[in-house]
A and B are shown apart, each in its own frame.
Chain A
Amino acid sequence: MSLLEIKNLHASVNGNEILKGIDLTVNPGEVHSIMGPNGSGKSTLAQVLARRESYQVTGGSVSFAGKDLLERKPEDAACEGLFMAFQYPVEIPGISNAYFLRAALNALRKYRGEDEMDAMDFLPLLREKMRMLEMDERFLNRPVNEGFSGGEKKRNEIVQMAVLEPRLAVLDETDSGLDIDALKIVAKGVNAMRSKDRAMVLVTHYQRLLDYIVPDFVHVLVNGRIVKSGGPELALELEQKGYSWTERELAGARR
């Protein structure tokens, strides 16, 4: 059974239709990359999957782990195993990273009927994940994302993913704004998370990320539709020819 099945998904923001019929199937163990130019609807797709309420679904269906995802609240989607790494992680002064993540992990564990984890057990786990992302321990006690650099915020998202161990991770432009060193660290963290039970959707503007995280499938999103799908070689083709190539091809197909 597929993990995520999107059929003819239409979605609007403030009355403007952004997604105009998306079809996508993701199976456990697969890594998909969704590429596209600015304004093509990449981030909208990620936000809809994470169930942000300001994005209205106007048509189509999304099933996640066999259940209707569009019926779910953000917290329920998370508890079912969906994780979105934010393009712009939010700063929350006054709450430490460690406290925040333990509360999140325990919310998930409670949902699954597991015992909550106390700080004694949780901190070694968190430390281990932070080491993997080469984050200094002082970030444990820093308020969530406050005063972090762009790269630190993105790494922190991957730390969260590593702690929460989702079934499906949607990474919304996690590579944007990263220098090459930070990109390698993030890619290392993401690759370490790849497994036969976990699927990932990498939303990205740049092919560069795919040098380090090689996807199984690449989809090109233009103007709210997936116009082309293929293997990793598609990303290279895009790199050489640019998005205008797919746009021209799309126009040709319409003619």
Chain B
Amino acid sequence: MITEIQVPEKYLEIFEQSESRTGGQPRWLRSLRQDAFARFSDVGFPTTHDEDWRFTNVSAVSGSSFDLAEPASVERKQLEPFGIADFACRLVFVNGLFSKELSTLPSAAKRVKIGSLADQMAQEAASVEPHLGRYLNTDRDAFAALNTAFMEDGVYVAVPADVAVETPIYALFITVPGTSPTMNHPRNLIVAGENSQVTLVEDYVSLGEGTSFSNTATELIAGDNAHVSHYMVVREGTGAYNFSTLRIQQGRSANVATHSLLLGGALIRNNVHPVLAGEGSECLINGLFMANGRQHMDNYMLVEHASPHCDSRQFYNGILNGHSHGVFHGRIIVHKDAQKTDAKQTNRNLLLSDDAQIDTKPQLEIYADDVKCTHGATIGQVDENALFYLRSRGLDEASARHVLLLAFANECLDRMHSPQVREHLERLVNAGLPESAQLAGERSGNAPERNWEEVG
């Protein structure tokens, strides 16, 4: 029996209220939102009958009643635990809204725009109009539609042609849960011009453990020959639902790398949707998810090859402990004209407990005839041989396990190019590993553990 899913009336009510919150908006934006809301009302929340949602039950979200998160005040010192002080360029969003006080924006290079999307829309809506909502699929994806309907603010980055932004742009999204469940819908827009270069980190955190729903969407447009690195970190609290969609549009010879690190949250859905639209473009889709307790982490990849001579590489590693549930759904579509496509997909998983679960599913749809597509998935436990090898050299069992988990995580960390971001994420991984016993060989203290010796 298929039950009709009713979009809670509450959303209509909230949508009408939000219209006033985003007052003074241009006509095109208003109709973008209204159309998206109409789509959301039509499509409704997905169920596990939907193939794309087979392994993830969203009833915790669809059945709850969320209010739009109110602006909240956060002190600067409350940011300290998140360990991002070393990043020179920091944008901080609280409950989805840009906080100028908490952000640090170095004077950007010539003509580079780094800031709040809301500010940009208020000041220069015409610069946003050609891009916003152009690529994100709101037709079939209820969450993307919902985001578009409710979007207010997020990161806006525009890099003109031939400019390389050397400093990584770090965007911290803080959810401050209220007494009742709240939601926020960050919307990010990154436009990298021809031959430009830029690195962006999105990091989602919570201050508190109350119920919250972060429904984010990022549109990343990489112009011809642009090099873009994108990092997505989710480390929200135990009461957080985090749904995100990254839509990447790549021009000719554009090179994009997107790295996901999922560490915290009750239920996470990580959609990554690159379209290799220009000939000779390359995309690296790299991820690590580490779940424990009753966490659910779903990674949904949709890689579209739309032009000839494009390469895509997907590597996702999962470490699952406790009663957690991981999902990797790797869909690759090779369109008719995308000859000489080279697409590779690898998903490796470690199950650390009897009750942890992983569903991994490749899905290849190939309409061209001269392509190379490979996929592989492994599910296993910590390698006993390797464990014995390490122990036979003097490492105790807990340290040896830690080293092996770190080694497994490192396969993903090693694909990250920015040393600063990599080091930061490695620290998060280290702290998040199930057996985070101090390594026998490491000094205690606050210095980050390094598992690679520097060799000069």
Contacts and interface: CB of A to CB of B under 8 A. Distances in A.
A116 B407 contact: no
Contacts of A164: 393-394
Interface in B380-410: 383, 385-386, 388-397, 399-400, 403-404, 406-410
Interface in A186-225: none
Given A75-B395, A95-B403, A103 B452 contact: no
B441 A107 contact: yes
A104 B388 contact: no
Given A95-B410, A99-B450, A90 B385 contact: yes
Interface of A: 50-53, 73-75, 77-79, 83-84, 86, 89-96, 98-108, 110-111, 116, 118-119, 122-123, 137, 140-141, 143, 160, 164
A119 B389 contact: no
The 10 closest A-B pairs by CB, nearest first: A94-B407, A103-B441, A106-B441, A94-B410, A98-B453, A107-B394, A104-B393, A107-B440, A78-B394, A74-B391
A103 B399 contact: yes
A75 B397 contact: yes
Given A52-B388, A99-B453, A137-B455, A107 B393 contact: yes
Contacts of B435: none
8 contacts: A83-B392, A94-B407, A95-B410, A103-B399, A107-B396, A110-B441, A123-B455, A141-B453
A98 B455 contact: yes
Nearest to A102: B441
Given A107-B440, A110-B440, A94 B453 contact: no
Interface of B: 383, 385-386, 388-397, 399-400, 403-404, 406-411, 414, 439-443, 450-455
A188 B288 CA distance: 44
Contacts of B410: 94-95
Contact of B399 (A90, A92, A107, A119): A107
Contacts of A79: 394
- Most central of A74, A91, A122 by chain B CB within 10 Å: A74
A164 B385 CA distance: 20
Contacts of A143: 407
B453 A86 contact: no
Contacts of B453: 96, 98-99, 102, 119, 122-123, 140-141
A94 B411 contact: yes
Contacts of B409: 94
A89 B14 CA distance: 62
Nearest to A47: B388
A105 B385 contact: no
Contacts of A75: 391-392, 394-397, 400
B441 A96 contact: no
Contacts of B443: 116, 118
- Most central of B388, B394, B397, B408 by chain A CB within 10 Å: B394
B395 A107 contact: yes
Contact of A94 (B388, B389, B391, B406): B406
A180 to B, nearest CB: 28
Nearest to A104: B393
A187 B453 CA distance: 28
Given A95-B403, A99-B450, A123-B453, A74 B441 contact: no
A98 B397 CA distance: 20
B392 A74 contact: yes
Contacts of A98: 452-453, 455
Contacts of A104: 390, 393-395, 441
Nearest to A90: B389
A74 B388 contact: yes
A75 B399 CA distance: 11
A96 B443 CA distance: 18
Contacts of A105: 394, 441
B380 to A, nearest CB: 13
A34 to B, nearest CB: 19
Given A86-B389, A103-B441, A119-B453, 4 more contacts: A79-B394, A103-B403, A103-B440, A119-B454
B219 to A, nearest CB: 33
B290 to A, nearest CB: 14
Given A90-B386, A94-B407, A141 B452 contact: yes
